[in-house]
Amino acid sequence: MKVPITLATLILLCSLFSWLPASAEPAAGGEPFDVPGLMELLATVSSRQEHFTETKTLAMLTQPVVLKGTLAYVRPDRVEKHVTSPYREDLTVQGDRLTLSSPKGTKQLAVDSHPLIRSFIEAIRASLAGELAVLRRLYHIKFQGTRQQWELTLRPLDAQAAEYVASIILRGEGDRLTTVDIRETGGDRSLMEIDGPVS
Amino acid sequence: MTLHARPALFLWILLLFFSGGIVANMTMTTDLTALLPHSADHRQELLVSQLRDGVAARLILIGLSGADGEALAQASRIMARTLRDTGLFASVNNGDPADFTVIREVLMRHRYLLSAAVTSEHFSVTALREALERQLQFLASPAGALMKAALPSDPTGEVPHILAAFTPGEGPSMHQGVWFSRDGTRALLVAETSAPGFALDQQESAVQAVRTAFASAGLPEQAHLVMTGPGVFAVESRATIQRDSWRLSVIAITVVTVLLFIVYRSATPLLLSLLPVLTGLLVGVAAVQTWFGFVHGITLGFGATLIGEAVDYPAYVFTQGIAGERLQQTLSRVWPTLKLAVLTTVFGALSLLFSSITGLAQLGVLAFVGVLVAGFVTRWILPALPPGVIRSAPHQLLPVTWLPALASTHRVRWFMWGGALLALATLAVRHADIWDNDLANLSPVTSPSKHLDEQLRKDLGAPDVRYVLIIEGSSKEEVLQRSEAAELPLRRLVDDGLLAGFDLPSLYLPSDSSQRKRQAALPPSDVLAASLADAVKGLPFRAGLFEPFLHDVEMARTSPLIDIVNLQQTPFFLKIRSLLIRTGDAWAGLVPLRHVTSPAALADRLAREAGPELTFLDLKSEAGRLVNGYRHESLRLTAIGLVAMTILLWWGLRDTAMVSRVLLPPLLAILFVVTLLTVIGERLSLFHLVSLLLVLGIGLNYALFFNRPFSDEEEKRRTWLSLTVCLLATLSAFGALAFSRTPVLHAIGLTVGLGAAGSLLIAAILGQQRVSQ
């Protein structure tokens, strides 16, 4: 008997799914705006690094858990999430490889090794890369807002992923991602707010 | 037809009838273990148990490629399902997490008895606090989504802990939710057959089932299936050998038939020629079946070779015939010599008969009975059958004088003796290179296949076929305790990079003593509730969240211990049964090792750091030792047989010089063949050895006939014709085998071909010496 992925690995993997953007030139206001337009806009950003604060609200807990750290993106396929508080953990996606390191050790695996992992990661990576085709293959997409203030709602199409995740809502201003809001099927919620570029 | 021919015919028909009946109902086996010596030593017993029950020997590694990842993953799932439904497999695994739920349930149910982390410390306030903080961190990560469900029952993380022990390291790569090769081009599955690796017929059904499942997995035309594993290789080898030997037999039979037809110019002697050897084989096999209760496939294959010389018997008679003469008359001239030819072989086989090794004893019985019966048929049946009269003298178109011509100069003799000395010297220098102890060299598995197997094994982290640890003990409990004790030393060896991983029976079924210890370490519910209340202080867990945990621990405190029986119907059952086996009164635990990088260093470290009850088994070298044992015994028995033959020859010929002239040709020929094979780098296997026994038989016959007294020049010419025909027939039959790419057939063909030619040549050279004196 082989165990495909240990729980611990899955857990580590999934911590990948937060994400952030950084600045470019301010967007022109007022004109009509849609998903392809947003994708085009995001695709112009080649790299960024920002601070984040992630607040998790869980039914099992009497008060939320708050994580702090930095997020970095380098076009087209590198995403890094570094948690610095209350514990240390680094998560890196490079192409289809996912690397997790903590003081306990390092693990590597394929992004597409499990539908849930893939859903989490691509929501962030494909959005930031402006890869609309990838998003359409994995999620049901809903868009609202303007170029100045937009909201992209992703619902996983894959049954295994949808079992856990109800929706992933990305909010932003122009080419800058400002929040990643994950709603789980059981009502738990994770809200990651991207606070600003690392100076 | 003479009067005494009637009872002979009657006896022959009776023999055919009874033997036919026995053979029709005989028990054929291809189980290698059936051939082993009764007095096998301890390690060999372990080897046998590995061959029979070993997990590694039952694995079929499957790779799918040639389509896009999604299609391959889909096909992998379909195939896994199809194969499971065939019932031919103990397990089929492709990494699909869906198949994993059952395992999680079993682990969840027995977690407090299975987890090595359970000690009394484990439930102290401090330890609980640490565990809860860890869980909080997990919850905060997005994987909390997956984790959450188990948290209220398993806050100390026993299930993940047990799982981590099962698969240390990375495990196979996953893509699209199933196992893939590292480069992502090949979907991978592992199937474990229910049948042992050496049950070739069942292995063949399993291989066929995989092919069928692949064909109906909905993959495009250009998709490609690869399979490796000991069973797969064995099945392929058998098919290759059968195909090869069938094709070569057809060639050999055609050539021999044409040859004999040219010589006899009639079909009757041709057909009659087959009677002795076929009758011999039939009765011989019947005798083996009666004596042993089963016939091994290998006995049958070798036996046919061993009694191959019987094909020559009728040739000696027919080629000696004079036109118009009755066969009976021809026989009366030839029989004294032919009788010795038959009896020498019978005496040679007699020694094998007493072998302690079942395989050799079977060969002995087959050769003993087969040759005796072939001689009987030649002497008494052939003349009793129509026409009974030689219609025309055999064709003399063959330039039979080549023999004396070739050997006519004195110089040749000196060359031969010089050559013999040189050969002896060569063998003395290179004696280490003579024998081949590696069974693998005889397998027709090509090196690309071996390479593919290595690749798949590495990608899958499948256990090594070659190396395994055996844990011995007088009881199941003792083996399990020792298995537990071995875990730590083994982990150290993994950390030091000597192997990639291992499996232990105690991971799936802890010893009773460990289970009891763990049970005793579980605190009573009021104590645990108090500790938990302390530990949870200041942490944001909702009140009452861990009620299921308190409940489950209390249940585990009083639950019965896990026994193999409780695990029936779970994926663990087969696992344990294959890792924990009963050997007579004792028990043994098997520890499959994954990717051993340095066997010597591993064996050394184990000897120093683990107990003596842990044996590191290198299946390849154990099998080599087994073959060695076979060889030593057969060599010893052959030597005894040779002495018997010498006595017999002396009794028959009453002439010491003559005996040496008869014995020397085959012995020198064998010397030359062995030297030649060694020089060209071909190492001698058991197959060569059996072939050499045939060379001895054939060569003795040549020398006997060459040295028989001749009444006139005509008879001498006829004898040369006999020998030429016999040699040509042997060369065409075995020469064809020598060109086979199958090592076994090649070995037999080359050895017998060279040996027979050498024997006749040397007999001629030595015989000429007598004439020239």
Q: What residues of B are in contact with residue A160 (Cβ under 8 Å)?
A: 97, 177
**pLDDT for B772:** 38
Share of chain A above pLDDT 90, in %: 35
- Inform me whether the C-beta atom of residue B278 falls under 8 Å from chain A C-beta atoms: no
Say which of B96, B174, B540 has its CB closest to residue A63.
B540
State which of B366, B393, B420 marks the end of a domain. Answer: B393
Residue B167 to residue A3, Cβ atoms within 8 A: yes
Q: What residues of A are in contact with residue B140 (Cβ under 8 Å)?
A: 54, 56, 65, 67
* DSSP-derived secondary structure letter, B611: -
**pLDDT for A150:** 93
Q: Are residues B333 and B425 in the same domain?
A: no
Q: Are residues B409 and B373 in the same domain?
A: no
CA B773/CA B548 separation, integer angstroms = 106
Probe site for chain B from A2, A108, A185 (most B CB atoms < 10 A): A2
Instruction: Give residue-wise pLDDT tens across range B312-329.
Output: 888 888 888 777 788 888
CA distance B545 to chain A (A): 7
Residue B540 to residue A115, Cβ atoms within 8 A: no
C-alpha closest to that of B269 among B315, B307, B311: B315
Residue B542 to residue A61, Cβ atoms within 8 A: yes
Residue A2 to residue B571, Cβ atoms within 8 A: no
Q: Would you say residue B155 lies in a domain?
A: no
Can you read off the two tokens belonging to residue A36?
A: 């392809």
Check whether B773 has a pLDDT greater than 50.
no
Residue A4 to residue B95, Cβ atoms within 8 A: yes
ipTM for the whole complex: 0.78
Beta strands in B579-720 (DSSP E): 580-583, 586-594, 614-618
Of the candidate ranges B554-563, B671-680, B740-749, the one whose mean pLDDT is the lowest: B740-749
Q: Would you say residue B1 lies in a domain?
A: yes
**pLDDT for A5:** 40
CA B54/CA B62 separation, integer angstroms = 19
β-partners of residue A192 are A54, A180
Share of chain A above pLDDT 70, in %: 84
**pLDDT for A26:** 40
State which of B348, B375, B393 marks the end of a domain. Answer: B393
Report helix, strand and coil shares of chain B as percent, to nearest 5: 70, 10, 25
C-alpha closest to that of B13 among B235, B197, B282: B282
Q: Would you say residue B201 lies in a domain?
A: no
Say which of A7, A16, A54 has its CB closest to residue B160.
A7
Probe site for chain A from B100, B111, B141 (most A CB atoms < 10 A): B141
Residue B142 to residue A16, Cβ atoms within 8 A: yes
Q: B533 pLDDT band (50/70/90 cuts)?
A: very high
- Inform me whether the C-beta atom of residue B141 falls under 8 Å from chain A C-beta atoms: yes
Instruction: Give residue-wise pLDDT tens across range B495-515.
Output: 898 988 888 999 889 999 999
Q: B4 pLDDT band (50/70/90 cuts)?
A: low
C-alpha closest to that of B695 among B629, B648, B750: B750
Residue B145 to residue A59, Cβ atoms within 8 A: no
Mean pLDDT of B731-749: 80
Highest mean pLDDT among A181-185, B31-35, B406-410: A181-185
**pLDDT for B361:** 85
Placement of tokens 């929501």 in the chain: A123
Q: How many beta-carbon pairs under 8 angstroms link A with B?
A: 138
Report helix, strand and coil shares of chain A as percent, to nearest 5: 25, 45, 30
Q: A182 pLDDT band (50/70/90 cuts)?
A: very high
- Inform me whether the C-beta atom of residue B176 falls under 8 Å from chain A C-beta atoms: yes
Q: What residues of A are in contact with residue B69 (Cβ under 8 Å)?
A: 112
More confident position, B739 or B591: B591
Probe site for chain B from A14, A15, A17, A60 (most B CB atoms < 10 A): A60
Q: What is the mean pLDDT of chain B?
A: 84
- Inform me whether the C-beta atom of residue B95 falls under 8 Å from chain A C-beta atoms: yes
Q: Would you say residue B676 lies in a domain?
A: yes
| Distances, alpha carbon B218 to alpha carbons B64, B79, B223, B493, in Å | 12, 10, 10, 44
Q: Which of residues 612-641 of B touch A (CB under 8 A)?
A: none
Say which of A11, A113, A190 has its CB closest to residue B147.
A11
Phi then psi dihedrals of residue B608, to 5 deg: -85, -40
C-alpha closest to that of B382 among B443, B318, B333: B318
Q: Would you say residue B577 lies in a domain?
A: no
Are B687 and B693 in contact, with CB atoms under 8 Å apart? no
C-alpha closest to that of B445 among B249, B244, B229: B229
- Inform me whether the C-beta atom of residue B169 falls under 8 Å from chain A C-beta atoms: no
Provide the CATH number for the domain around residue B720.
Answer: 1.20.1640.10
Q: What residues of B are in contact with residue A191 (Cβ under 8 Å)?
A: none
Residue A60 to residue B172, Cβ atoms within 8 A: no
More confident position, B301 or B634: B634
- Inform me whether the C-beta atom of residue B592 falls under 8 Å from chain A C-beta atoms: no
For residue B723, what are the domain limits? 396-429+655-773
CA B313/CA B119 separation, integer angstroms = 80
Q: Are residues B674 and B731 in the same domain?
A: yes
**pLDDT for B530:** 95
Q: B443 pLDDT band (50/70/90 cuts)?
A: low
Q: Would you say residue B272 lies in a domain?
A: yes
**pLDDT for B30:** 64
Domain count, chain B: 2
Mean pLDDT of B729-740: 81
- Inform me whether the C-beta atom of residue B69 falls under 8 Å from chain A C-beta atoms: yes
The CATH label, of 2.50.20.10, 3.40.1190.10, 3.10.180.10, 3.30.750.24, for the domain at A7-197 is: 2.50.20.10
Mean pLDDT of B673-682: 89
Mean pLDDT of A49-55: 93
Residue A5 to residue B136, Cβ atoms within 8 A: no
Residue A184 to residue B163, Cβ atoms within 8 A: no
Which amino acid does the sequence have at B553? V
- Residue of chain B with shortest Cα separation from A7: B160
Q: What residues of A are in contact with residue B151 (Cβ under 8 Å)?
A: 60
Residue A10 to residue B146, Cβ atoms within 8 A: yes
CA distance B511 to chain A (A): 20
- Inform me whether the C-beta atom of residue B116 falls under 8 Å from chain A C-beta atoms: no
Please state the domain extents for chain A. Answer: 7-197
Q: What residues of B are in contact with residue A87 (Cβ under 8 Å)?
A: 137
Say which of B139, B151, B174 has its CB closest to residue A109.
B174
Q: Would you say residue B325 lies in a domain?
A: yes
Q: Are residues B419 and B356 in the same domain?
A: no
Say which of B69, B145, B159 has its CB closest to residue A165.
B145
- Inform me whether the C-beta atom of residue B268 falls under 8 Å from chain A C-beta atoms: no
C-alpha closest to that of B637 among B348, B436, B358: B348
Q: What residues of A are in contact with residue B500 (Cβ under 8 Å)?
A: none
Q: Are residues B660 and B764 in the same domain?
A: yes
Check whether A27 has a pLDDT greater than 60.
no
Q: What residues of A are in contact with residue B502 (Cβ under 8 Å)?
A: none
**pLDDT for B167:** 67
- Residue of chain A with shortest Cα separation from B143: A11
Q: B113 pLDDT band (50/70/90 cuts)?
A: very high
Are B465 and B619 in contact, with CB atoms under 8 Å apart? yes
Which amino acid does the sequence have at B197? G
Check whether B613 has a pLDDT greater than 90.
no
Q: Would you say residue B161 lies in a domain?
A: no
Residue A60 to residue B139, Cβ atoms within 8 A: yes
Say which of B147, B152, B177 has its CB closest to residue A7.
B147
Mean pLDDT of A176-197: 90
**pLDDT for A89:** 87
Residue B540 to residue A110, Cβ atoms within 8 A: no
Share of chain B above pLDDT 90, in %: 26
Say which of B103, B143, B167 has its CB closest to residue A14.
B143
Residue A12 to residue B143, Cβ atoms within 8 A: yes
Relative to beta strand B295-296, strand A139-145 is unpaired
